[in-house]
Chains A and B, each alone.
Chain A
Amino acid sequence: MLGKIWNWIDDRSGFSDVVMPMLEHIVPRDARWWYVFGSATLCAFIVQVLTGVALAMVYVPGGDAAYESLVYITNDATLGYLVRGMHYYGATAMVMLAVIHMTQVYLHASYKYPREMNWMSGVVLLFVVLGMAFTGQLLRWDANGVWSVMVAAEMAARVPFVGGYISQFLMGGETVGGSTLSRFFAIHVFILPGLIFAGVGLHLWLILRHGISEMPKADQPVVPETYKQEYEGRLEKTGVPFWPIAAWRDVVFSAIMVAVIVGCAIFVGPPALGPAPNPANIHANPMPDWYFWWYFAVLSMLPPELETYVILGMPVLGAIGLFVVPMLSNRGHRAPSKRPWAVAVVIFGATAFVVLTIYGYQKPWSPDFDVKPLPPEVVRSDDPNIQHGAVLLRDKGCLYCHNVDGFGGYRGPELSVIGNRLDRGELVIRINNGGYNMPSFASSLTAEELRQMVDFLLTRTDHPKQTPGEDPSN
């Protein structure tokens, strides 16, 4: 009976006639563990679609109720905690795997003839995936989400001529309000996923059309005139059917990946919701999800005059730069050993990403609003003048940016031994006049306060006992 039903389905649908030959297409024998990242990215996308559809059944995409619906999903709904966690870690996995997949393809120069369009469609997909990650962060609709909309709108506003219109399109008006969230919801669940489906379809079709690339060999450069013939000749001799000879590794890796996603969702849980999304609440500290920290760091360290160019230029140039890679070179060597510059680009890119991500996390350039008063062991003085100077250092905001013996922010230069470098007159001038990236405090300090602060700062030397006015008893 079951056999009959299957035969009917198979005959009418053409599974054995059309789909099986695709699944069993011949792939290079050496397509081993290096090749599992693309299929795992697709698998992560499937996780996102399924958990996303589930979440959308409860989530309310309205400014008044989105936050409450998320609180309900996280705390009360059956398995809501797990599904939300899977959607979050699935997003992380998808971004990571897409980048790893792309890096592998770049290192092995699989983008060369005849697979240029595979790479180009992949680059478009990467940016759509990043767009999904960003809009998804906003749908969390806590204070962080709302302020991220504001940052996105401000960035878009930098586009010449039409920037204002783009921003208003994103916000659904002149301010962040009722329309804003609905727009991001529509973009996140209809527009971008539609693009991903279409892009993945094209990407997979191109893989079937041109075949999976072989592992690069140093003595086998790509010569477009003869490549296809040689590739097919080699496949005929040594190729294996994709299903199941090569596919099992993809399945094993994807299974591990999904298990890690589920494990993280169970044991670590979804990201905590921030405070409720009141745009009037100024006590928010907007911070993007971790894969954007590097960009956050770049934006913080740029000289202001370069900023607009980088905000607009970096994504556009990055996209164009990646997109045209196969146009710049679609023939010649594929082996990393013959392409030292390509290896250098990957090492440089990965290092920059890691370093900037760490900086982005520590954000030493932002004022540290939570800084505590300097403790007595740091002040090291019984002189009330100096003690008051230390208190003023925090009250007047100096410690928000400057660090003294491990206390305070890191945006400005460290002051732990400032007494070695500057004398009284120089300190007075710096504090009163300000300077590069430092406000002038002339109007907000009395002469007495200024003197006390300078007295304290002059004790900050690496030979404190020799400083005049300092109590040596410590």
Chain B
Amino acid sequence: MSDCPEVNSPTSDEDRRGFLTKLCLGLSALIGAMITLPGVGFVLAPVFARPKQTWRKLGKLDEYEVGKTVSVEFKDTIDQPWAGVTAMSGAWLRRVSDEEFIAFSINCRHLGCPVNWVEDASLFMCPCHGGVYYEDGEVAAGPPPEPLARYTVRVKDGFVEIETSAVPLTTNDQV
């Protein structure tokens, strides 16, 4: 193109070309923004959303024996209809006394694998990398840097209820 002689003066031609270059680049950026921004916002929305945690009923108070630690299941906060069984969360629930319950997250604080309660040894053990916790959730052995996370539990109208919670991420105290 630059080989074609133009009748216009070189300055006005350069101006025109410069303007058109800027126009094309500017409009392309605008097109790009219009195409991508809604999608980016759509994809990132769940990252910044803080869903309101809700109480879920676990069972009647008299179903739980004092001193026993049992696994319980409940629906997590965002129970999208298509989540199916993956909307379930689990916890280890212990009835400490008549009215007092403790609930531990099942996620090992090392890398999130599911910890198992070993009744006779009174220990929580993780199958992945050897994390072990005492019955109060404190680290007993292995790599976990922090004690097991806890859920909030209450007794209401004769039912044990648990408050849903985010997955406890090791270096981000979101629980």
Contacts and interface: CB of A to CB of B under 8 A. Distances in A.
A174 B78 contact: yes
B3 to A, nearest CB: 25
Nearest to B169: A157
B128 A173 contact: no
Interface residues of A, number: 65
A302 B78 CA distance: 35
A64 B85 contact: yes
B42 to A, nearest CB: 11
Contacts of B153: none
Interface stretch (B10-18, B25-33, B59-67, B87-95): B87-95
Given A179-B46, A395-B120, A444-B122, A280 B90 contact: yes
Nearest to A301: B129
Contacts of B21: none
Contacts of A369: 116, 125, 127
A282 B90 CA distance: 8
A304 interface: yes
Interface in B47-92: 47-49, 51, 71, 73-74, 76-90, 92
B87 A157 contact: no
B166 A63 contact: no
B9 interface: no
Contacts of A277: 85-86
A181 interface: yes
Contact of A64 (B83, B89, B145, B169): B83
A157 B140 contact: no
A147 B114 contact: yes
A440 B121 CA distance: 10
Contacts of A173: 46, 49, 51, 78
A439 interface: yes
Contact of B86 (A278, A285, A304): A278
A415 B31 CA distance: 70
Interface string B106-120: 110011111110101
A401 B125 CA distance: 11
Contact of B114 (A65, A281, A441): A281
Interface string A101-141: 00000000000000000000000000000000000000000
Contact of B122 (A157, A168, A169, A443): A443
A438 B141 contact: yes
Given A366-B127, A397-B121, A177 B113 contact: no
A34 B23 CA distance: 52
Chain A contact residues, majority secondary structure: loop
B125 A64 contact: no
Interface residues of B, number: 62
Contact of A397 (B76, B125, B126, B142): B125
B159 to A, nearest CB: 19
B46 A172 contact: yes
Nearest to A364: B130
A367 interface: yes
Nearest to A170: B47
Residue of A158, A367, A440 contacting most chain B CB atoms (<10 Å): A367
Nearest to B44: A169
A284 interface: yes
B174 interface: yes
A219 B17 CA distance: 54
Given A283-B116, A300-B129, A64 B90 contact: no
B167 interface: yes
A282 B104 CA distance: 12
Given A367-B127, A397-B123, A164 B141 contact: no
A302 to B, nearest CB: 7
B175 to A, nearest CB: 10
A383 to B, nearest CB: 22
Interface of B: 43-44, 46-49, 51, 71, 73-74, 76-90, 92, 106-107, 110-116, 118, 120-123, 125-130, 132, 134-135, 140-145, 166-167, 169-172, 174
Per CB-CB distance, the 5 closest pairs between chain A and chain B, nearest first, are A64-B84, A280-B90, A178-B83, A439-B140, A178-B80
Interface of A: 62-65, 146-147, 150-151, 153-155, 157-158, 163-165, 167-169, 171-181, 276-286, 299-300, 302, 304, 307-308, 365-367, 369, 395-397, 400-401, 411, 434, 437-441, 443-444
28 contacts: A62-B83, A62-B84, A63-B80, A63-B86, A154-B112, A157-B171, A175-B76, A175-B77, A175-B166, A177-B76, A178-B87, A278-B88, A279-B90, A280-B73, A282-B92, A284-B127, A285-B127, A300-B129, A304-B143, A307-B145, A395-B121, A397-B125, A434-B141, A437-B141, A439-B121, A439-B134, A440-B134, A443-B122
Given A157-B171, A280-B106, 10 more contacts: A62-B83, A63-B83, A167-B169, A172-B46, A177-B86, A178-B83, A178-B86, A282-B90, A302-B143, A440-B140
